[in-house]
Amino acid sequence: MDATIFSPQLAGAQGRSAPSEFSAAHAHLLGIGGSGMAGLAAVLLRHGARVSGSDASHSPVIDRLIAAGAEIHADDDASVLPEGITCVVASAAIPENHPAVRAARQRGMRIYKYAEALGELMRNYVGVAVAGTHGKSTTTAWLTHILRTAGLDPNFVVGAHVEQLGGSSGVGDGRHFVAEACEYDRSFLNFSPHFAAILNVDEDHLDYYHDMSQIRAAFREFAQRVPHGGRLLYDGDDPNLATLGRDLTCEVETFGFGTANHWRPMYLKLRDGCYEFELIHRDEKLLRARLLLSGRHNVWNAVAAAA
């Protein structure tokens, strides 16, 4: 795919790339070994913050963070907070009664959830958030690759290690910050992205949401966080998103196979286990693409990343 033809709004968007309040911070991350938290830790380190943390298990991710300058100890020492820390960041898996959370609260420290901290970082950039029940990591990674190829050199945090991107996060010289936006615990409502994509909505996280109506309402609220002058892209074929675009102040476009969608894949062919298709935008053929990942669902992800 030729990334230079995609999303002129992204290329021209104005945003700040100044370091956030975390640049002078000593942030202590609880559950630092998780993919999202590890990505956040790496971004904070590259912004000049001092980073420490704890995790219940050791992993190559922990080793990479230590090599990058993080100070990490086992979770059984979690109640012992290092001297000099200015804030604590907790993953979604960390309970409110965690020893380190209690200790930080007793000291009067600012305690962020992971998504809150990521949202604060993104405020300094042109935020690009990818949401949906399925396909977030793949689409976020592809979008990051496209923006890199276009010379925009984005910052990014993906919810998985991506070898082709050099990890689960990266700090670029560009104005954009691309992040995977998870709906669990309504975490994505901490983001106010300039650009957002909603890939699909399905029943998930029913330990948190009571039913499908609550899930749809959360995604609706996420869509409303895209400001006037921003842009929202969503799956126009998904019945759970049928009314999503109503009464929003941002620009709205849809993608999918249906002829009413603004972005569509056409003339699909399966060749050697990989899909090929033509990308159409408002009846204009833009390019022909061949995916190296198998699965028809990845056609959706690719179209969303390209759009």
Domain that holds residue 85: 21-114
Whether 13 is covered by a domain: the verdict is no
Whether 120 is covered by a domain: the verdict is no
Torsions phi, psi of 27, nearest 5? -95, 135
Single residue among 69, 90, 114 that ends a domain in this structure: 114
Q: Which tens digits make up the pLDDT trace of 117-131?
A: 999 999 989 999 999
Single residue among 84, 114, 144 that ends a domain in this structure: 114
Average pLDDT over residues 75-96: 84
Please indicate, yes or no, whether residues 52 and 179 belong to a single structural domain of this protein: no
On whether the CB atoms of residues 7 and 30 are closer than 8 A, the answer is no
**Exposure letters 25-63 (e unless 16+ CB within 10 A, then b):** bbbbbbbbbbbbbbbbbbbbbebebbbbbbbeeeeebbe
On whether the CB atoms of residues 158 and 140 are closer than 8 A, the answer is yes
Please indicate, yes or no, whether residues 236 and 274 belong to a single structural domain of this protein: yes
307, HSE (Cβ side, Cα atoms, 13 Å): 34
How much is the pLDDT for 105?
94
18 has a pLDDT exceeding 60: no
Whether 6 is covered by a domain: the verdict is no
β 126-131/176-180 pair status: parallel
Instruction: Name the E strands within 227-283.
Output: 231-235, 251-255, 263-271, 274-281
- The residue written with tokens 């200015």 in the block is 86
Single residue among 114, 143, 167 that ends a domain in this structure: 114
Please indicate, yes or no, whether residues 163 and 191 belong to a single structural domain of this protein: yes
Please indicate, yes or no, whether residues 129 and 245 belong to a single structural domain of this protein: yes
**pLDDT confidence tier of residue 19, bands split at 50, 70 and 90:** low
Whether 10 is covered by a domain: the verdict is no
Please indicate, yes or no, whether residues 133 and 233 belong to a single structural domain of this protein: yes
Beta bridge partners of 195: 128, 231
Q: How many domains does the chain have?
A: 2
Please indicate, yes or no, whether residues 155 and 232 belong to a single structural domain of this protein: yes
With a CB cutoff of 8 Å and minimum separation 6, the contacts of 96 are: none
Please indicate, yes or no, whether residues 148 and 291 belong to a single structural domain of this protein: yes
Q: How far apart are CA 172 and CA 156, in angstroms?
A: 8
Please indicate, yes or no, whether residues 206 and 289 belong to a single structural domain of this protein: yes
Please indicate, yes or no, whether residues 203 and 107 belong to a single structural domain of this protein: no
Please indicate, yes or no, whether residues 245 and 155 belong to a single structural domain of this protein: yes
CA distances from 238 to 23, 235, 300 (A): 41, 6, 11
Q: Which tens digits make up the pLDDT trace of 242-290?
A: 999 999 999 999 999 999 999 999 999 999 989 999 999 999 999 999 9
Average pLDDT over residues 192-208: 91
CATH code assigned at 25: 3.40.50.720
Please indicate, yes or no, whether residues 183 and 254 belong to a single structural domain of this protein: yes
138 has a pLDDT exceeding 60: yes
Whether 220 is covered by a domain: the verdict is yes
Whether 271 is covered by a domain: the verdict is yes
Q: What is the pTM of this model?
A: 0.87
Please indicate, yes or no, whether residues 182 and 35 belong to a single structural domain of this protein: no
- The residue written with tokens 């033809």 in the block is 5
Torsions phi, psi of 118, nearest 5? -65, -40
Whether 9 is covered by a domain: the verdict is no
Which two structure tokens, joined as six digits, stand for 28?
A: 């202590």
Q: What is the mean pLDDT of the chain?
A: 89
**Exposure letters 139-156 (e unless 16+ CB within 10 A, then b):** bbbbbbbbbbebebebbb
Which two structure tokens, joined as six digits, stand for 122?
A: 């993104």
Whether 40 is covered by a domain: the verdict is yes
Q: How far apart are CA 95 and CA 252, in angstroms?
A: 37
Q: Where are the alpha helices (DSSP H) in 197-263?
A: 212-224
CATH code assigned at 228: 3.40.1190.10
DSSP class per residue in 117-178: HHHHHHTTSEEEEEE-SS-HHHHHHHHHHHHHHTT---EEEEEEEEGGGTEEEE--SSSEEE
